[in-house]
Amino acid sequence: MLYSLVELNRAAMAPIRLAARAGRAALNSPLNPMGQTSYGKSLSAMADVFESATRYYGKPEWRINSVRINSIDVPVTPEAAWRSPWCGLIHFRKDAERLAAARRKNAAPLPRMLIVAPLSGHYATLLRGTVEGFLETHDVYITDWTDARMAPVWLGRFDLDDYIDHVRRMLTHIGGGAHVLAVCQPGPPVLAAISMMAEEEDAALPASMTFMGSPIDARRSPTVPNKLAEERPFSWFEQNMIYTVPGPYPGVLRRVYPGFVQLASFMNMNWNRHVDAHWKFFNHLVDGDGDNAGKHREFYDEYLSVLDLTEEFYLQTIRRVFQEHHLPRGIYKYRRDRLVKPEAIRNVALMTVEGEKDDISGIGQTQAAHDICVNIPKDMQTDYIQPGVGHYGVFNGSRFETEIAPRVTQFTRRFTQPELEEAAAASSAKKKR
């Protein structure tokens, strides 16, 4: 019912939003003298804020066209390297000739990196800054998860174990010796996937794994979301967080955890900060400060774009990760019968990154990976806490660019195997032919 009410409200607001847009255009016209007055500028800014706050935000574009390497712009093309109904593997392919020129005839292929984006309400494009932070130094791939409201019911289920399967399939496609970087939610399933690959001595086993702001063990330094998951019974999440997708979406009748519910939860955690941001946005518009207004638009255009999660994926994550803590307790069972054994990992380097002010995954939750991967040699482990940043700052922003990304790059370089990179490059070229 809630989903239908939200869609009805969106439809009802459409004429008002169009009127606001038309009014703003009229006030900004150079032929309208009122638009140059303080009153006119305030009315225009008010219309702009209203239209932005009530707009429907679809899936954003990547908007990554090039990367600058050694003062040379190298064209970049995001393209699907592998796809299933539930996920696309996006490869940020660089122009080979320009890349060779930029690297000054360095023939060694760039190390491959798989960024596993969270399936927790936002699109993978929220990690645009993360991708850009590694494009110069890595051959970057990223997971692009499907919005559950766009998945017809005949596709069947997609649960936490299916997520693990997808991570394994994508690593197999990329090839052994790659580097995996999991941001936030993917931490536990990625660690489970690599644990099983290590136990099987899978040829596609990555060379390193980096976890950033991940709830490997949500019992440590519990935050507001962690406490909510602990305090509420599982039945509460079943009854209050799951809704049915209405028409005309392709996923009509699918049971989902809607992205707008997750977004409302995140915004309520920092409500005053969001109100203040929109008030500043209003003042920037009145003052004609296009740079700061543009930064606000760029952030919120991404932040307000959300996707839905399948019922089974969301509820399994609540139970296994946030309520019963299966992985750190050593009781996670894949498909209910195979025990996941992180102690099987011996030859995959481990790095954890946390933010000092993270209010989503508290200090220690990501570090827990070191405690459960007991057989990784100490000289293959690295832990880093970034001072002064919250959850978002762990994978985006100026401190990520200048302090975190360089440390991760230095870490992956230590464990890059040139012969595997050359084999992977040859395999990729063969696939394209």
pLDDT of res. 105: 66
49 and 75 together in one domain: no
| Most confident residue range from 18-27, 279-288, 356-365 | 356-365
What is the mean predicted confidence (pLDDT) over 107-130?
92
| 133 assigned to some structural domain | yes
Percent of the chain with pLDDT over 70: 96
| 243 assigned to some structural domain | no
DSSP for 43-96? HHHHHHHHHHHH----PPP----EEEETTEEEEEEEEEEEEETTEEEEEEEEPH
Q: In this predicted model, what pLDDT tens digit does every residue of 404-420 receive, in sequence order? A: 999 999 999 999 987 67
- Residue ranges with strand state E in 356-422: 381-386
Domain end, chosen from 281, 303, 325, is at: 303
Q: In this predicted model, what pLDDT tens digit does every residue of 45-93 receive, in sequence order? A: 787 777 777 777 778 899 999 999 988 999 999 999 999 999 999 999 9
pLDDT of res. 59: 86
Rounded Cα distance, 163 and 169, in Å: 10
Among the residues of 252-379, which ranges form H helices? 259-269, 271-287, 290-303, 311-317, 326-329, 368-372
Domain that holds residue 226: 66-235+309-432
44 and 113 together in one domain: no
Q: In this predicted model, what pLDDT tens digit does every residue of 248-274 receive, in sequence order? A: 889 999 999 998 887 777 677 667 777
In three-state secondary structure terms, 410 is helix
| 14 assigned to some structural domain | yes
What is the mean predicted confidence (pLDDT) over 318-331?
96
Q: In this predicted model, what pLDDT tens digit does every residue of 132-184 receive, in sequence order? A: 999 999 999 999 999 999 999 999 999 999 999 999 999 999 999 999 999 99
95 and 132 together in one domain: yes
136 and 209 together in one domain: yes
212 and 321 together in one domain: yes
172 and 268 together in one domain: no
Domain end, chosen from 288, 303, 318, is at: 303
The answer to whether residues 307 and 185 touch, using CB atoms and an 8 Å cutoff, is no
What is the pLDDT confidence band of residue 295, given thresholds at 50, 70 and 90?
confident
340 and 416 together in one domain: yes
- Within the chain, how many helices (H) and strands (E) appear? 17, 14
Domain end, chosen from 249, 272, 303, is at: 303
32 and 85 together in one domain: no
What is the pLDDT confidence band of residue 383, given thresholds at 50, 70 and 90?
very high
116 and 211 together in one domain: yes
pLDDT of res. 269: 66
| 174 assigned to some structural domain | yes
User: Which CATH number is 190's domain given?
Assistant: 3.40.50.1820
* Residues in CB range of 137: below 8 A, 6 or more apart: 110, 111, 409
379 and 273 together in one domain: no
Q: Is the pLDDT of residue 401 over 80?
A: yes
| 299 assigned to some structural domain | yes
Task: Considering only residues 429 and 136, tell me which one the structure prediction assigns the higher pLDDT.
Answer: 136
Give how many domains the chain has, as a whole number: 2
pLDDT of res. 44: 81
From 17-31, 179-193, 345-359, the region with the lowest mean pLDDT: 17-31
Q: Is the pLDDT of residue 120 over 90?
A: no
| 414 assigned to some structural domain | yes
In three-state secondary structure terms, 382 is strand
268 and 380 together in one domain: no
Rounded Cα distance, 132 and 128, in Å: 6
Which residues partner with 181 through β-bridges? 115, 210
Q: Mean of the per-residue pLDDT values for the chain?
A: 89
Q: Is the pLDDT of residue 277 over 70?
A: yes
From 77-91, 98-112, 381-395, the region with the lowest mean pLDDT: 98-112
pLDDT of res. 188: 97
Query: Treating both helix axes as pointing N-terminal to C-terminal, what angle do 271-287 and 290-303 enclose, rounded to 10 degrees?
Result: 140
What is the mean predicted confidence (pLDDT) over 186-194?
97
pLDDT of res. 343: 97
24 and 51 together in one domain: yes
pLDDT of res. 429: 64
| 61 assigned to some structural domain | no
